[in-house]
Amino acid sequence: MTSTDDGFQPPPTQPQAWPPPVPPQAWPPPGQQQPAPPPAPQQAWPPPGQQQPAPPPVQQPGQQQAPPPGVSVVRTDAESKDGLTKCGRCGATEISLNIETGNLRCGFCRFEMQSPNALQTYGLDGDVSMLTGIVVGSGSDNIVPSTDLVLTFKCSACGADVVIDSANSTQARCHWCRNTLSMNEQIPNGAVPDMILPFKLPKDVAVAKIKEFVGKRMAFAHPTFKAEFNAENVMGVYLPYMVFDANAHVALAGQGEHQTRSYTVKRGDDDVRLYDADVYDVRRDFSLYIDDLTVESSSERRDQNVMRNSNNIINAIMPFDVENSVCYDSNYLTGFTSERRDTNLDDLTGVAAAQSKDIARYRANEMVTFYDRGVRWDDEQLHLVGQRWVSAYLPVWLYSYYETKSSGKSFVHYVAVNGRTGETMGSVPINQRKLLLVAAGVELLGIIAFLLFFFLVGG
Amino acid sequence: MFNYTEAVGFLVQASSSDSSGANKIAFLFLFAGFVFYGIMFLRYRNVNKRHHHESDTKSRTANIQAGDTFVHSRTGVTDSNMPGANNKQFNGKLWGLF
């Protein structure tokens, strides 16, 4: 999802609206920007009364569906308004993220606005052990396929109709008065999540990390990649995830072995190590509280078949500090791109349950340390007493390289940097011919060494 | 003179699980090229990398109840680990080679 205004054309349906009425309030016209005053103290955002109520979209978005029985929906866009989101000091709509502070900053007067913590604001940070039923943020609602992705909003500054293609952006610039219109209200198309975790790692640091990562892998890198590699092409992307909390009851049953003796016996010329062990039937029942399990909610990113793509690279840079996410505001996307959620909770429940079982196994290992030879769990039951789902945009610096192989097939390699922690992982295209040649040389040396070993020791 | 049968016998012995450390090193020499290719492939493509959700996700346990019953003893087994143990296997990864 891009936040640029490239490609926007005046709407052909409104010729009579030209010239649109000029907004009465003062707006810094182009070329008359005043020098930026010193940074202002932070204030809670949005300041009371500063958000201008936007008229309803000309094209009505899809209607909110009633939640299924047993599901309670927490509205996370009740305070959000579509349209112009103005600077609390000067009224400009040119607002973007200041990575250094994590706040939104006015591009004209440098006034900084701090968004509140999303989980605290919406009460989605309650004790997991008290969780019952299914709680979902309204931004995690099922996607209605018929929902329009292209929405038309009326600019409240000049009255022109402005089109936002929510498949690619939640912002657009009014082509008449140059104000930025934001889409912050949720419609069931997955474009507006419950919360967003702003970038914390500056681009220059991400570029340095990518250069360092790739620089260590140049010896067998594909020559075309080496010639074309430019870490400056990294893009800041907000990727869609679902954050899952669970209050679960776990019942595990199986067998475990405890080593009682270890000794060596002679078999022919060799010494052989043997073991004695006691076998037990093992059972563990416990409550498991999972906090902020994060799963991909884009169908493209969920496909992690490493033969087809390198999405596992993006998966490997987790975890994120999702507890620091803030209430969603489209202005955080300014200057970055984003990807829309296109997966519903029903499709993610299986993954979340399987990963919850893994967490149960991991935690159960702390309870079966007596069984030093291992435990074979034959029956694993995980009952979800309560679960909570919150949709989020999480920040990733992404360098992508499109490799076209000699067979004509293509493959996209990613080098990804966690936009919060700086964790870096990547896939670098290999010069197969060079690697195979060197591996053949190593194999030849290995065979010579084996033969020497055979003659000196074995023979 | 190189004896093919002896060499194959040595190779089979080296590859067996109860072979000595020196024989295992010899076995490693024989497949050094394949091992090198595998290590380099993983270093460049990182197909084995994933998010370790099982350990990286915040979690806690409570109300633990245990019930263990002795079944029998096994003696003279060669495997240092329990056959079929799965307590360190995790299945919730989306896809991957490892």
Residue A2 DSSP class: B
* pLDDT given at position A67: 63
Edge-to-edge order in the sheet of strand A95-98? A43-44, A112-114, A103-106, A95-98
Best of B27, B40, B44 to disrupt the A interface by mutation (most A CBs within 10 Å)?
A: B44
Q: Is the pLDDT at B80 greater than 80, yes or no?
A: yes
**Is residue A152 within 8 Å of residue A160, measured between CB atoms?**
no
**Are B90 and A362 a contacting pair at CB < 8 A?**
yes
- Picking from B23, B75, B94, the nearest residue to A315 by CB comes out as B94
Q: Give the separation between CA A349 and CA A361, rounded to whole angstroms.
A: 18
Q: Give the separation between CA A252 and CA A256, rounded to whole angstroms.
A: 12
Q: What is the pLDDT of residues A428-441, one digit of tens each?
A: 999 999 999 999 99
Q: Does A385 touch chain B (CB under 8 A)?
A: no
B-chain residues within 8 Å CB-CB of A427? 44-47
ipTM value greater than 0.90: no
* pLDDT given at position A178: 74
**Are B30 and A450 a contacting pair at CB < 8 A?**
yes
Residue of B nearest to A452 (CA): B26
Q: Is the pLDDT at B94 greater than 50, yes or no?
A: yes
Kindly report the backbone phi and psi dihedral angles of residue A199, in degrees, each rounded to the nearest multiple of 5, phi listed first: -60, 140
How many residues are listed for chain B in this entry? 98
Residue A413 DSSP class: E
Q: By mean pLDDT, which of A58-62, A149-153, B36-40, B57-61 is the weakest?
A: A58-62
- Picking from B2, B10, B68, the nearest residue to A282 by CB comes out as B68
- Picking from B65, B68, B90, the nearest residue to A281 by CB comes out as B68
Q: Is the pLDDT at A60 greater than 70, yes or no?
A: no
Q: What is the pLDDT of residues A28-55, one digit of tens each?
A: 334 344 444 344 334 444 444 444 444 4
pLDDT class of A22 with cuts at 50, 70, 90: very low
Q: Is the pLDDT at B19 greater than 70, yes or no?
A: no
Q: What is the pTM of this model?
A: 0.79
Q: Does A164 touch chain B (CB under 8 A)?
A: no
Q: Nearest CA to CA, how far is B4 from chain A (Å)? A: 11
Kindly report the backbone phi and psi dihedral angles of residue B71, in degrees, each rounded to the nearest multiple of 5, phi listed first: -105, -60
* pLDDT given at position A141: 80
Interface of A with B in 404-443 (CB under 8 A): 425-430, 435-436, 438-443
Give me the total of CB pairs closer than 8 Å, taking one residue from chain A and one from chain B: 267
Q: Is the pLDDT at B28 greater than 90, yes or no?
A: no
**Are A290 and B32 a contacting pair at CB < 8 A?**
no
**Is residue A334 within 8 Å of residue A95, measured between CB atoms?**
yes
- Picking from B44, B72, B93, the nearest residue to A279 by CB comes out as B72
* B8 against A276, higher pLDDT: A276
Q: What is the pLDDT of residues A373-406, one digit of tens each?
A: 999 999 999 999 999 999 999 999 999 999 988 8
* pLDDT given at position A300: 86
**Is residue A309 within 8 Å of residue A303, measured between CB atoms?**
yes
